[in-house]
Amino acid sequence: MARNPRYDILFEPVQIGPVTAKNRFYQVPHCSGMGSQSPRSVAKMRGVKAEGGWAVVNTEYCSIHWTSDDTPFITAKIWDQSDIRANALMVEEVHRHDALAGIELYHGGSAAANHYSRLPSLGPWCAPAGSLGEPIQSQAMTKRDIQDVRRWYRDAALRSRQAGFDIIYIYGCHDYLLHQFLSASNQRSDEYGGSLENRVRLLREVIEETAEAVGDTCAVAVRYAATLGTDELRATDDARGMLEILADLPDLWDVALGDYSLEMGTSRFVKEAAFESAVAWVKQVVRKPVVSVGRFTSPDTMVRVIKEGIIDLIGCARPSIADPFLPTKIDQGREDEIRECIGCNICFSGDQVSNPIRCTQNPTMGEEWRRGWHPERIPPKASDRTVLIVGGGPAGLEAAVALGRRGYAVALAEASTQLGGRVLRESALPGLAEWSRVADWRIGQLNKLPNVDVFLDSELDAAQVLEFGADRVALATGSKWRPEGIGREHSSPIPGWDSANVLTPDDVMAGAIPTGPVLVYDEDHYYMGSVIAEQLRGTGLDVILVTPESKVALWTARTAEQHWVHSRMIEFGIQLELNTAIASLAKDRAVLACSYTGRTREIEVASVVMVTSREPTDSLYHELAERIDIERIGDCRAPGLIATAVYAGHLYAREMDETPCDAVPFEREGIFSLPPT
Active site residue 176: yes
CB hemisphere CA count around 492 (13 angstroms): 3
What is the rounded CA–CA span in Å between residue 326 and residue 296? 10
Query: What are the Cα distances from residue 286, in Å, to 208, 220, 249?
Result: 16, 15, 10
CA atoms within 13 A on the CB side of 16: 33
Angle ∠(429,645,270) on CA atoms, nearest 5? 40
Long-range contacts of 180-186, Cβ-Cβ distance < 8 Å, separation of 24 or more:
180/109, 180/110, 180/111, 180/123, 180/124, 181/124, 182/228, 182/238, 182/242, 183/124, 183/228, 184/228, 184/238, 186/124, 186/125
| Dist. CA 155–CA 64, nearest whole Å | 8
Q: How far apart are CA 70 and CA 88, in angstroms?
A: 22
Strands 479-481 and 614-616: antiparallel
Q: Which residues contact 33 (CB under 8 A, 6 or more apart)?
A: 74, 350, 351, 353, 354, 355, 356, 357, 366
Cα–Cα distances in Å, from 345 out to 29, 110, 318, 564?
16, 26, 8, 14
End-to-end CA distance of the chain: 60
Q: How far apart are CA 65 and CA 67, in angstroms?
A: 5
* Beta carbons within 10 angstroms of residue 194's beta carbon: 13
DSSP notation for 226-241: S--SSS-SS--HHHHH
For residue 254, the Cα-to-chain-centroid distance in whole angstroms is: 20
For 551, list phi and psi in degrees, rounded to 5. -135, 155
Which residue among 61, 153, 176, 652 is the active-site one?
A: 176
Give the DSSP H/E element, type plus range, for residue 330: helix 326-331
- Measured CA to CA, the distance from residue 574 to residue 582 in angstroms comes to 18
Q: Identify the burial level of 98 via C-beta atoms within 10 angstroms of its C-beta, where 0-12 means exposed, 13-18 middle and 19 or more buried.
A: exposed
Which residues are catalytically annotated? 176
